Structure 1
Amino acid sequence: MRITVDGLRTEWSTGRHCDPAEWDKHTKRVRGTKEQARSVNSWLDVLYSRAHACRQELYLAGKRFTPQHIRKMMQGEELEPPKMLSDVWNYHTNQIAGLLGKGYTPATLQKYRSVFRILRKFLFSRNKQDDIKLDDIDFQLVRDFDYYLKTEHKVKINTAVQMVKKLRTVMKLANEIGWAKRNPFAAYRAKKEEVHREFLTTVELNDLAVKKLKKRLVLTRDLFLFSCYTGLSYSDIVSLKAEDIRKGEDGGIWLETHRIKNNNRVRVPLLSPALRLIEHYKNYPRILDEDFLLPKISNARANYYLKEIMKEMGWTKWLTFHCARHTFATTVTLTNGVPIETVGQMLGHKNIRSTQIYARVTDTKVSQDMKPLKKKFARQELTLTQKED
């Protein structure tokens, strides 16, 4: 068989043979109607049709091709080395690395690299290889990875969902740039479990503010309180500078910054407890930069000291700076009648659903909202009683 494209040719055996005397060089088929002749001619017809089908497919793909490309397609070989999961994962993480500070943070890059390390361990336990062709990734593999995370890797349900979502993002990218023929996540539905978010009540917040603590714990306590009264995360607080304090249109003092996590703009009117903390640390010696609004300590040390503060307070609540943000959303703002849309803007959320995770309706808020209704029913009861009398 000979295939010629633009003057280039390739030849190979069809795998069939016949007596030269029976070969018709004009029709390029075996003469006669015997079984052998019909069998050979039928095979040659298949090859002829297959060659033209492969040529048409390559032409429609819009890429330059050679006779060798047609031959490889006919013989079931890969035209190019198949794209692997590692190829698209490295492509994605390299782009994230190049865009740090421009929509991505080092934490995001670290998460993707961490998930891929775990994914490679999963693939090795499943296939004895730590990589896989993109077109071999199917819905069953996605389900198996989710199961592996929850059982072998022993992560919580919501953590597993976030890790699987990173695989989904990468596979969606592979499909969009033409490296994968299908998206194995078409039928995937993530199921998160609702998590109880810790927050401090008004009484607990006040008790923490006046508690006499060991000197080394005071700064951590005050940074935690500042988070409770502003809704800022730890990384945002220790990055604040004097220039982030502005005078608002209402004449009050505002905090204007961008979240380190997602670069979302945050504008928060400062409450008096937060202003007192800024004033208190105005002349406190700074270690790294005099321009920082509040003193810095490492995140690891702050978390360690928060555990000590929990013991000092005699609480079982797990104190974290996430707890402080939930306290701002629930106790400081929502309970005091601040609309959830406003709370979301101050927390730096673009989606109200994110704010709903932080903000919880407390018993105090329920009591306040139910007071008018309770009074109404009380009046009705009184009227009914007087009529009966």
Structure 2
Amino acid sequence: MGRSSFEILFFTRKDTGKKTGKNLIMARISVNGLKPVQVSLKLSVTPKLWDQRTHRAIGRSSEAVELNAMLDGVQARFINIHNDLVKRGEDISPEILKNLFLGKNATPTLLEYFKERLTEKEKLVEAGRLKKVTKDKFDRTIRYIMAFMHSDLQIRDIRFNQITLDFIEKFNVYLLSTQGLTYNSAAKHLEHLQWTVNKAFQNGMMPRNPFNDFRIKKTETKKEYLNKYELGKILSKKFASERIEKLRDVFIFCCFTGLSYSDAQKATVDNLSRENDGRLWLITYRNKTEVKSTVLLLDIAIKILDKYAEHRKKPDDYCR
């Protein structure tokens, strides 16, 4: 590891002394140009004793002498922690120094951090700010990573400062080979990993971002479209199964409205609006983008609604 640039600066928070008459003292840790972190030292000082220029207490009072001695001790601890990491050739970041100073692990593990983000997403789902399907995809990525580390690396977890380009490349191969995913499906899980690693890097948990040297590969998919004749064949097909017939009708309804299944699933009769000219509209909001959608219902879509008028519930009832 190369030479490390390290600085510790003490300062006071002036907004903390209203009740006690003393301001809390903080330490700002800077390393190698990374985003600095602040550490509460659980020390305080009488405002008039603090020197902004020297970042120490001034005078020979017992408070000033004792405080400066404690600050010297804090600085010595940080220097020792930093020098020890340099000697061992380990990665150094403000977050790592902070955690070691506070007696915590140097950096959180990948799965610990992933699961914290998953908990956040679960709360967003509960608040109606995130779709459950999005959270479930993120959860699936975690399970793929756990299986990959167990089978290919024989480890249970990994710290952020140990994640390398090699780790990412091997995970990509695992998704494509062992799991048999397509490039585009694998890309989704790699993007989840990249998002998490980016967050950790931005928060100073790792000194470099290995995704800077990795390009997520996607392939252009060719979408097949039904022509008028093919759609007509499906529409006129007679099914022995009532359930299959209902599935066909939902599919045709989506074709003639442009709605996805999830959008049609949440629509109710309350979303229908008839204008003065007699035309019937379906007004809803897209699940994926929450953009308002106003669709003029064509005759075939209206006939499907009329066919199942007795349901008077949701379109997804048609496939039950």
8 A contact 2:118–2:138 mirrored in 1: yes
Q: Deviations over 1:77-125 (max 9, x none)?
A: 8434122111221121111101116332111111111111111121233
- Deviation of 1:291 after TM superposition, in Å, equals 3.5
Larger Rg: 1
CA distance, structure 1, for counterparts of residue 202 and residue 277 of structure 2: 48
Identify if the C-alpha distance between structure 1 residues 196 and 53 changes in structure 2 by more than 3 Å, giving closer, same or farther.
closer
Residues 1:292 and 2:314 are matched in the alignment: yes
Residues 1:68 and 2:77 are matched in the alignment: yes
8 A contact 1:122–1:148 mirrored in 2: yes
The aligned counterpart of 2:114 is: 89
Q: Deviations over 1:286-339 (max 9, x none)?
A: 4xxx433563436xxxxxxxxxxxxxxxxxxxxxxxxxxxxxxxxxxxxxxxxx
8 A contact 1:104–1:262 mirrored in 2: no
Structure 2: 5+ residue stretches without partners = 10-26, 31-35, 42-73, 86-96
Identify which of 170, 187, 193 aligns with 2:219.
193
8 A contact 2:250–2:318 mirrored in 1: no
Structure 1: 5+ residue stretches without partners = 1-49, 299-389
- Deviation of 1:146 after TM superposition, in Å, equals 0.8
Identify if the C-alpha distance between structure 1 residues 181 and 263 changes in structure 2 by more than 3 Å, giving closer, same or farther.
farther
- Of all paired residues, the percent bearing the same amino acid is 23
The aligned counterpart of 1:382 is: none
CA distance, structure 1, for counterparts of residue 255 and residue 160 of structure 2: 46
Higher helix share: 1
8 A contact 1:86–1:131 mirrored in 2: yes
8 A contact 2:282–2:297 mirrored in 1: yes
Identify which of 200, 211, 224 aligns with 2:237.
211
TM-score by length of 2: 0.67
CA distance, structure 2, for counterparts of residue 171 and residue 236 of structure 1: 33
Q: Structure 2: which amino acid aligns with 1:93? A: L
Residues 1:102 and 2:78 are matched in the alignment: no
Identify which of 154, 163, 169 aligns with 2:195.
169
TM-score by length of 1: 0.56
Give the 5 Å matches for 1:1-389.
55=8, 59-60=29-30, 61=36, 62-64=38-40, 66=74, 67-76=76-85, 78-79=100-101, 80-81=104-105, 82-100=107-125, 102-216=128-242, 217-247=244-274, 252-283=279-310, 286=311, 290-293=312-315, 295-297=317-319
CA distance, structure 2, for counterparts of residue 195 and residue 250 of structure 1: 42
Q: Structure 2: which amino acid aligns with 1:232? A: L
CA distance, structure 2, for counterparts of residue 248 and residue 189 of structure 1: 51
> What secondary structure sits across from 1:263 in the alignment?
coil
CA distance, structure 2, for counterparts of residue 215 and residue 149 of structure 1: 38
8 A contact 2:146–2:156 mirrored in 1: yes
> What secondary structure sits across from 2:266 in the alignment?
coil
Identify if the C-alpha distance between structure 1 residues 134 and 205 changes in structure 2 by more than 3 Å, giving closer, same or farther.
same
The number of aligned residues is 243
CA distance, structure 2, for counterparts of residue 97 and residue 294 of structure 1: 25
Higher strand share: 2
Q: Structure 2: which amino acid aligns with 1:255? A: L
Identify if the C-alpha distance between structure 1 residues 248 and 146 changes in structure 2 by more than 3 Å, giving closer, same or farther.
farther
Q: Structure 2: which amino acid aligns with 1:141? A: F
Identify if the C-alpha distance between structure 1 residues 179 and 247 changes in structure 2 by more than 3 Å, giving closer, same or farther.
farther
Identify if the C-alpha distance between structure 1 residues 249 and 136 changes in structure 2 by more than 3 Å, giving closer, same or farther.
farther
- Deviation of 1:248 after TM superposition, in Å, equals 5.6
The aligned counterpart of 2:49 is: none
8 A contact 1:146–1:164 mirrored in 2: yes
Identify if the C-alpha distance between structure 1 residues 125 and 211 changes in structure 2 by more than 3 Å, giving closer, same or farther.
closer
